[in-house]
Amino acid sequence: MRTRFDEQLAALNEALIEMAEAVERAIADAGRALIDKDMELARRIISQDDEIDAREKEIENLCLKLILRQQPVAGDLRLVSSILKMLTDLERIGDHASDISEINLLLEGKPYIKKLEHIPQMAEITMGMVKDSIRAFVDKDIELAKEVIGRDDEVDELFATVKNDLIKLINENPDNGDQAIDLIMIAKYFERIGDHATNIAEWFIFSMTGVHKDYKVM
């Protein structure tokens, strides 16, 4: 019975890793499409969001079958429940990559009102956070998960910088308003991706310890 459970759990972990890799690519591509003004890439990211959603449903079904058929208890149930939570965050990250790409399409043919510097940094950091949050889960590395959580402050600081810089440009010239708002929204989506990566790290820690920042399970 335990062998069967472990086999199904291994398949579940592999599916989660594959979904995370697809999400990481979506973040990287969204940042590259923005910088390079690559509208074809932006459109591809949007179209691929359905694939990420489909992966979520498949893994969700695997989790539910594992719970219903194997009836895990204690730590095993907490682990599967945590994976379901991580799954939701990964799907939302995929949505945000698509959201960024949709805004990117609105900017087609328009020169940027300022050099993109901090937004690409946000893209790089958040992609690393997603990658490391999943690696922490796979390797059962609580310290790495804590490092991911710590990096969220850096993303928040970059978002504040982007927002302040763009608001200043609006004040200097109201004609900058539309694009400035679009770029602020893009930065906000990257900031949210950082939040979701943090959530994944926190749910992994919960799966290992039974302790979450919002509540504790004995």
Q: Are 80 and 13 in contact (CB under 8 A)?
A: no
Q: What is the mean pLDDT of the chain?
A: 93
Domain membership of residue 128 as a residue range: 2-209
Per-residue model confidence as pLDDT tens digits over 161-188: 999 999 999 999 999 999 999 999 999 9
Q: Which of 137, 60, 52, 153 is nearest to 99 (CA)?
A: 52
Q: Does residue 217 lie in a domain region?
A: no
* CATH number, domain containing residue 179: 1.20.58.220
Q: Does residue 38 lie in a domain region?
A: yes
Percent of all residues in the chain with a pLDDT value above 90, rounded to a whole number:
83
Q: Are 111 and 176 in contact (CB under 8 A)?
A: no
Q: Does residue 146 lie in a domain region?
A: yes
Per-residue model confidence as pLDDT tens digits over 25-49: 999 999 999 999 999 999 999 999 9
pLDDT at res. 1: 56
Question: Does the pLDDT at position 216 exceed 60?
Answer: no
Per-residue model confidence as pLDDT tens digits over 51-76: 999 999 999 999 988 888 877 777 78
Which residues neighbour 7 within 8 Å (Cβ) at sequence distance 6 or greater? none
d(CA 16, CA 85): 12
User: Three-class SS string for the chain?
Assistant: CHHHHHHHHHHHHHHHHHHHHHHHHHHHHHHHHHHHCCHHHHHHHHHHHHHHHHHHHHHHHHHHHHHHHHCCCHHHHHHHHHHHHHHHHHHHHHHHHHHHHHHHHHCCCCCCCCCCCHHHHHHHHHHHHHHHHHHHHHHCCHHHHHHHHHHHHHHHHHHHHHHHHHHHHHHHCHHHHHHHHHHHHHHHHHHHHHHHHHHHHHHHHHHHHCECCCCECC
Alpha-carbon torsion, ordered 119, 121, 125, 127, to 10 deg: 60
Q: Does residue 108 lie in a domain region?
A: yes
d(CA 34, CA 45): 12
How is residue 47 written in tokens?
């179209």
Bridge partners (DSSP) listed for residue 211: 216
pLDDT at res. 214: 63
Q: Does residue 179 lie in a domain region?
A: yes
Across the range 97-126, mean pLDDT stands at: 96
Number of domains composing the chain: 1
User: Within 13 A of 200's CA, how many CA atoms are on the CB side?
Assistant: 36
